[in-house]
Amino acid sequence: MANNLKLIKNPLSKENPIAVQVLGICSALAVTTQLKPAVVMALSVTVVVVLSNVIVSLLRNTIPSRIRIIVQLVIVSMMVILVDQFLKAFVYDVSKQLSVFVGLIITNCIVMGRLEAFALANKPLPSLLDGIGNGLGYAVILIIVGFVRELLGQGSLWGYKVIPECFFEAGYVNNGLMTMPAMALILVGVIIWIHRSRNKDLCEK
Amino acid sequence: MQEIINIFVKSIFIDNMVFAFFLGMCSYLAVSKTVKTSMGLGIAVVFVLAITVPINYLINEFILKEGALVWLSPSFADVDLSFLSFILFIAVIAAIVQLVEMFIEKVSPSLYSQLGIFLPLIAVNCAIMGASLFMQQREYANIGEVISFSLGSGIGWLLAIIGLAAIRERVRYAHIPAPLKGLGITFIITGLMAIAFMSFIGIKL
């Protein structure tokens, strides 16, 4: 039980997929200009990681190791097609906003990385928990970056104005740079900095 | 002709795969320690992109698009297979990467051993899949435009990774706060490079 709990807890901080394992950065940054697409993206990735982790782990003894990459890609892309069709049907506007990045979950390194490193060698239940943990770890970073970028860049959260009008009258201006791609990179850099200064053992030599 | 050159320049500098869309970040961060290896990976990416995107364009044009199957029989006019695009695109990419891997192993074993694990990983490099999905989304008019787009994005990626590798070779001797060393500073450098690339916005031939 303690082990299972660790599987969920570790990826949140000590083994965070983005800040420590450096996986899945590609899509993490592009969808975070606003909070809403960031949350939808985080949920989609979590669903895909969990489902494909479980399926691969169920099939792990029957997949020949030489062609495992192709098999994994097929499983993952099936899951992504399901998620994509679901998003198109129920949250069409967000799905438009995410554009190609839903499809790019297939090549998201978190999914492949966890399949290779964990699901191929473990039973379905731990794989399920590992998927949930890594999905949540990814979500944490996405939500922090999305929160900061939308708040400072557009003065709103989840599409609602949160910075009162009187601030703008007093001379407050939205930081347009925050909506640019460059700031996402710098924000993640700063998150890594803070994270590592709190966990000294993660520092690189 | 002018349109083709325009797309070429645009996809290198303005819509740069790394700085504008964060595609291919995983290998971008992992392989950029020295200029030499990053050059090898960059060229491999250019090569794979230049082959896969036009092939995927043809697949999209003659199989997947709504009404694309008319050449088989007029009764297929309202068949829309575009939900299959993820799985077909990734299959083409995986197959081509396998070919490139065998080719490089034969022609240049030293480059092959240098690229090591990262060559098969090109298959899951978001830049390749992303270029195919952008090609589908932007609806380029003919194959000339698609080829110039794919070459341009590849060269843009090559440019970005070589630039980062050159900077990282220098930064190694700088005094950086310990928690920022390695990954953190790399993110911030990439962010600054992205800001520099923003100065190209608006260039049109």
Q: Tell me the CA distances in angstroms from A108 to A26, A28, B168, one per residue in order.
A: 7, 9, 25
Interface membership of B187 toward A (CB under 8 Å): yes
pLDDT digits (tens, 9 = 90+) for A159-189: 788 777 787 788 788 877 888 878 888 888 8
Model's pTM, two decimal places? 0.84
Query: Does the pLDDT value for residue B199 go beyond 80?
Result: yes
Q: Indicate the number of domains in chain A.
A: 1
Interface membership of B188 toward A (CB under 8 Å): yes
pLDDT digits (tens, 9 = 90+) for B23-46: 888 778 877 888 888 888 888 888
ipTM of the predicted assembly exceeds 0.85 = no
Band the pLDDT of B166: cuts 50, 70, 90: very high
B-chain CB neighbours of A186 within 8 Å are 187-188, 191-192
Residue A162 is assigned to a structural domain of this protein: yes
**Whole-angstrom Cα distance, residue A95 to residue A89?**
9
Residue A154 is assigned to a structural domain of this protein: yes
Average pLDDT over residues B151-160: 92
Decide if B194 and A77 are in contact by the 8 Å CB cutoff. Answer: no
User: What values do phi and psi take at A161, rounded to 5?
Assistant: -65, 125
Residue A51 is assigned to a structural domain of this protein: yes
Instruction: Check residue B116 and give its pLDDT.
Output: 62
Length of chain A: 205
Task: Give the three-state DSSP class for A156.
Answer: strand
> Chain B window 52-111: which residues touch A at a Cβ cutoff of 8 Å?
83-87, 90-91, 94
Decide if A69 and B178 are in contact by the 8 Å CB cutoff. Answer: no
Residue A73 is assigned to a structural domain of this protein: yes
Residue A35 is assigned to a structural domain of this protein: yes
Residue A95 is assigned to a structural domain of this protein: yes
pLDDT digits (tens, 9 = 90+) for A68-100: 878 888 888 889 889 988 988 988 888 888 877
Domain that holds residue A60: 21-196
- In 3D space, the residue among B21, B28, B17, B26 whose CA is nearest the CA of residue B161 turns out to be B28
Residue A133 is assigned to a structural domain of this protein: yes
Testing the interface with B: which of A25, A68, A71 to mutate, by most B Cβ within 10 A?
A25
Residue A15 is assigned to a structural domain of this protein: no
